[in-house]
Structure 1
């Protein structure tokens, strides 16, 4: 049996994986959705990025998981990539779901344009250091139903600002780890430059899904099937 550790992206909690988790459990897998510190039911904690890495590692170690597929969506690819190097031979595979990937010494926002960084700093300055959730309009044209958008908007919580501004600390190059990168084609057909560079590694593979950036809501069954296949 494979154990999936599912980590949601910015503003979301473990609840975001409910449908995917159900499908994976139905296929006989162990499933461990994670709520990162400062979000959803763990709201109120001023968490930095290394706390998010520790959150993921703690799920693996506290439950003594041995055959682990770490799955990171969007922002959480950054702490997932770091955690993957810290769990040693417990790791079976990393799966990045249309996500950012970590670069040692760089933060989530370091790769953004100057305008983008100024925008997020302004947002955090007016929200007590948190990154406010997106609005319903931001989820348009991403293969989401009105009901899914309402769920995301109503349950999303502000994201701890330190976690997106603190640098990654890699203990092992991510290119050496067995990895699947899932590109959601309605959010751009080509992976980012840093992902394309890592895909040169023989340890990495690219798969694609014709949906938007939040496939756990738009195509949960297809996503669960792809995760199962990636786990081998």
Structure 2
């Protein structure tokens, strides 16, 4: 038995894993979906990226979890990657689901070189928050109209400080035992930073034939990948 701690990306909360959690528990594992501060049912709580790292570490420690598989989707790969080194021997593996990965001293927006100024301007113009996407942004991602409507109805603005604060790592990220899940409908595949980490020998690449939100568009397939990662 392992304990999955599941952290969804920007605008989402623990609810995003509703179709994945039962599959993990049915296989005999612990599954602990987590809402980051400032989002969903924790909306209104002041938060930045460091807060989100502590949210994850604190949940692992509060529940006294062992054999932990940390799962970070999209933006959440950044705080999950930092939390992974902070929980020490409790960690079994990290799974990055079509996600950003942290680099010491760099922020989330630093990974958007061509869009950084535009993103920072959008955050400033929205009271310090990153507004959820419009319906058109979900097109071509393998989602039904009903799934898009559900995501949009429950998404909340994302705290801007979580996107602009730099990550803090004390050792090379490539030393972590990790699986990187790339979603093929997004087209380009892993970026140069992830490709370098995969070349280091401790990371494994898995391709999932769906779009950027597989917990909605392919929960069964995603659960199978997570269960397989627990056996490695």
In which range does the TM-score fall when normalised by the shorter chain?
A: over 0.9
Partner residue, 2:118: 119
- Counterpart contact for 1:183–1:189, Cα < 8 Å: no
Partner residue, 2:60: 60
Q: Residue 47 in 1 paired to residue 47 in 2?
A: yes
Structure 2: distance between partners of 1:11 and 1:53: 16
Q: Structure 2 length as normaliser, TM-score? A: 0.98
SS in 1 for 2:80: helix
Partner residue, 1:132: 131
Q: Residue 190 of structure 1: CA displacement?
A: 2.2
Partner residue, 2:93: 93
In the alignment, structure 1 segments of 5+ residues that lack a partner are none
Partner residue, 1:159: 158
Partner residue, 2:105: 105
- Counterpart contact for 2:183–2:189, Cα < 8 Å: no
CA deviations over 1:23-75 (Å, ceiling 9, x no partner): 11111110000000000000012311010000000111111101000000000
Query: Pairwise CA RMSD of aligned residues?
Result: 0.8
Partner residue, 1:27: 27
CA deviations over 1:81-134 (Å, ceiling 9, x no partner): 0000000010000000000000000000112124x1121122112211000000
Q: Structure 1 length as normaliser, TM-score? A: 0.98
How many residues align? The count is 231
Structure 1: distance between partners of 2:113 and 2:205: 26
SS in 1 for 2:20: helix
- Counterpart contact for 1:46–1:162, Cα < 8 Å: no
Structure 1: distance between partners of 2:124 and 2:91: 38
Partner residue, 1:8: 8
Structure 2: distance between partners of 1:71 and 1:107: 19
- Counterpart contact for 1:40–1:155, Cα < 8 Å: yes
